[in-house]
């Protein structure tokens, strides 16, 4: 299980939300550029960047973010406001390592079907697409966690698999930003139902012990860690050491 440091951006500032609430924001005194450089200097190969403005339909951050993404040597897993097939292609063609799709995949029934057709050409996009599933009490949330979907969680997983998408970023909203432990029971349910999925865990990770507990599940490809780093609960050096051991095992 590989650890991916997270950077959430709101109004061009590095922040964290509590349970997805835009009314409960912690702002950190470091720029996006400096935070990426800090991770890179400590041997991290991948970073998880979310445009929180874009997630709720405000694209004022995008040019700023795209410019930074183009200039970094880090592998970027990027999400927030990816609403069209054209945007997915633009990001991947520009060098974004993985593109996260969430709201559009849930609200537009044809979006994933159209996106799946990209797998028929020379470049296979399925390995570069991450399906975001943000869950609160087994209800899928979208639009920056402001809306609820009638689609059942397991049914949605099955639909995505049938279309050729296998990598999922699952955030347990009830855990996110609280640093009270990860959503192990939720991940266990998903992995029991579909052991073949590439699952990325997110939300609630507050210590190396939480990472060890997630690792013991045996099925997570990676996990995203954000607030615990900024609050000095997990050090970048600990992440570096963990990831080096993970790569050695592979």
Active-site choice (11, 93, 134, 210): 134
Determine whether 93 is an active site residue.
no
Determine whether 241 is an active site residue.
no
Confirm if 173 and 20 have CB atoms less than 8 A apart: yes
Tokens coding 17: 């939300």
Calculated CA dihedral for residues 210, 222, 171, 169, nearest 10 degrees: -170
Active-site choice (8, 51, 172, 176): 8
Residues tagged active-site: 8, 134
């Amino acid at each position: 299980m590989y650890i991916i440091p997270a950077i959430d951006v709101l109004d061009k500032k590095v922040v964290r939300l509590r349970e997805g609430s835009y009314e409960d924001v912690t702002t950190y005194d470091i720029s996006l550029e400096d935070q990426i450089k800090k991770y890179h200097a400590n041997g991290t190969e991948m970073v998880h960047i979310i445009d929180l403005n874009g997630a709720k339909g405000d694209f004022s951050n995008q040019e700023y973010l795209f410019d930074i993404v183009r200039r970094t040597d880090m592998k970027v897993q990027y999400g927030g406001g990816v609403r069209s097939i054209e945007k997915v292609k633009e990001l991947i063609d520009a060098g974004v390592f993985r593109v996260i799709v969430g709201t559009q995949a849930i609200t537009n029934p044809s979006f994933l079907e159209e996106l799946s057709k990209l797998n028929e050409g020379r470049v296979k996009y399925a390995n570069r697409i991450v399906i975001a599933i943000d869950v609160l009490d087994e209800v899928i949330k979208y639009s920056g966690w402001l809306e609820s979907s009638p689609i059942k969680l397991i049914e949605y997983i099955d639909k995505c698999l049938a279309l050729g998408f296998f990598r999922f970023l699952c955030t347990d909203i009830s855990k996110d930003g609280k640093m009270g432990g990860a959503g192990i029971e939720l991940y266990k349910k998903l992995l029991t139902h579909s052991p073949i999925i590439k699952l990325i865990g997110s939300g609630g990770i507050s210590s190396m012990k939480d990472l060890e507990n997630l690792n013991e599940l045996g099925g997570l490809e990676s996990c995203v860690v954000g607030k615990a780093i900024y609050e000095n609960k997990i050090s970048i050096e600990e992440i570096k050491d963990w990831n080096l051991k993970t790569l050695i095992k592979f």
